[in-house]
């Protein structure tokens, strides 16, 4: 607990909320407000993707057009009469260049990355300040934890400093959905910024009462699946209307097949080499001295290669993954194999 906790007033929202969503997507933050029973109105929505905004309008019963964040200005947000309304501005900017699943190109100002669109929010808030306009009382951001990783921390720190220069008090923390009643292992960074000196604590975790299987349906209508016939029909339509050139598709398919064959050959050779080495090592160990790891390793190798039909690549993937994960000798390979195998 900080010393400021004793001097700052706890945040409390008593006025109707006007919601401004930048990078809105389908409106997950608006949905969250609905789920907790908050009274709010959809004041402004900024979303560039036409399919996302179509989903937003369908979900929330609104009629917002697409908007490009780079073309939005202070007056477009129409923030006024903050004595009567609480303006909540959300800006969960793209994580494309921050996520470990992407190229991790970062979010530096002027970088041209999608994650760098964060600084468009800086521009808009600066316009409000310089025009003596009224700033939104609450800002909210959700993004991947890498937003404050070692590589991105300098830029994140610049963002925090900017908000503080406007008079905001920032609170951020990484939270996992599984700790808040959702059957999903999804960790994200959440940040609130309050205009003024306010105290805030993130909610405490709650027990997870349901698992994913509790949400899955036993019988799913066939219309939700794409079978081979439908897939072939869709591809033909794309070729016929020129969206997918046939020669490009053929070349891409050939390249994919070649790469897959090469990977399978490499994996099989690598796995067989490892198995040959390990079996030779097993022969040097007497039965009474053989550990559980050694025994299980031999069993696992037999299992991995016993059926080289449709599951061959999956089995080889498992073997190579284990070797790459912790290649410190046969013991670790074998014990890791036990974990993979039993799971």
17-41 confidence digits (pLDDT tens): 999 999 999 999 999 999 999 999 9
pLDDT of residue 229: 81
Rounded to 10 degrees, the C-alpha dihedral 177/88/122/47 comes to 70
**DSSP calls for 259-298:** HHHHHHHHHHHHHHHHHHHHHHHHHTS-GGG--HHHHHHH
Higher pLDDT, 11 or 121: 121
Separation between Cα atoms, residue 323 and residue 335, nearest integer Å = 11
Q: pTM to 2 decimals?
A: 0.65
Token digits of residue 265: 């050959």
Cα angle 179-185-191, degrees, rounded to a multiple of 5: 65
Beta carbons within 10 angstroms of residue 155's beta carbon: 21
Higher pLDDT, 209 or 273: 209
The helix (run of H) or strand (run of E) holding residue 174 is: strand 168-176
pLDDT of residue 147: 97
pLDDT tier at 248 (50, 70, 90 boundaries)? Answer: low
Contact 42, 61 (CB under 8 A): no
Asked if pLDDT for residue 257 goes beyond 80, the answer is: no
Residues labelled catalytic: 95
The helix (run of H) or strand (run of E) holding residue 55 is: helix 50-60
* Average pLDDT, rounded, for the chain: 77
Beta carbons within 10 angstroms of residue 272's beta carbon: 14
Asked if pLDDT for residue 252 goes beyond 70, the answer is: no
| Listed residue (118, 86, 119, 91) closest to 29, CA to CA | 91
300-333 confidence digits (pLDDT tens): 333 333 443 434 343 333 333 333 333 233 333 3
147-192 confidence digits (pLDDT tens): 999 999 999 999 999 999 999 999 999 999 999 998 889 999 999 9
Residue the block writes with tokens 């809105």: 24
């Amino acid at each position: 607990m900080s010393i400021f906790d004793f001097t700052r007033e706890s945040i409390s929202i008593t006025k109707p909320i006007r919601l401004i969503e930048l990078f809105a997507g389908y409106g997950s933050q608006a949905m969250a407000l609905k789920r907790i029973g908050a009274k709010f109105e959809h004041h402004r929505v900024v979303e560039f993707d036409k399919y996302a905004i179509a989903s937003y309008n369908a979900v929330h019963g609104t009629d917002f057009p697409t908007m490009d964040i780079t073309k939005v200005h202070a007056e477009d947000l129409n923030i006024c009469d903050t004595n009567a309304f609480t303006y909540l501005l959300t800006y969960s900017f793209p994580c494309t260049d921050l996520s470990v699943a992407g190229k991790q190109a970062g979010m530096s100002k002027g970088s041209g990355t999608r994650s760098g669109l964060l600084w468009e929010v800086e521009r808009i808030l600066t316009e409000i300040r310089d025009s003596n306009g009224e700033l939104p009382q609450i800002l909210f951001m959700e993004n991947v934890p890498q937003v404050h990783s070692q590589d991105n921390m300098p830029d994140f720190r610049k963002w925090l400093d900017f908000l503080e220069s406007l008079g905001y008090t920032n609170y951020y923390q990484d939270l996992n959905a599984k700790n808040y009643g959702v059957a999903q292992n999804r960790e994200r960074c959440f940040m609130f910024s309050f205009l003024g000196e306010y105290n805030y604590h993130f909610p405490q975790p709650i027990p997870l009462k349901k698992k994913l299987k509790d949400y899955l349906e036993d019988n799913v209508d066939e219309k939700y699946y794409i079978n081979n016939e439908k897939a072939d029909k869709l591809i033909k339509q794309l070729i016929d209307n020129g969206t997918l050139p046939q020669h490009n598709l053929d070349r891409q398919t050939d390249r994919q097949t070649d790469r897959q064959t090469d990977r399978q050959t490499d994996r099989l050779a690598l796995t067989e080499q490892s198995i040959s080495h390990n079996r030779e090592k097993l022969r040097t160990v007497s039965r009474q001295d053989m550990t559980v790891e050694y025994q299980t390793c031999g069993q696992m190798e037999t299992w991995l290669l016993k059926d080289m039909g449709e599951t061959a690549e999956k089995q080889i993937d498992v073997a190579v993954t284990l070797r790459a994960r912790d290649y410190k000798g046969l013991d670790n390979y074998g014990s890791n194999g036990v974990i993979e195998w039993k799971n």
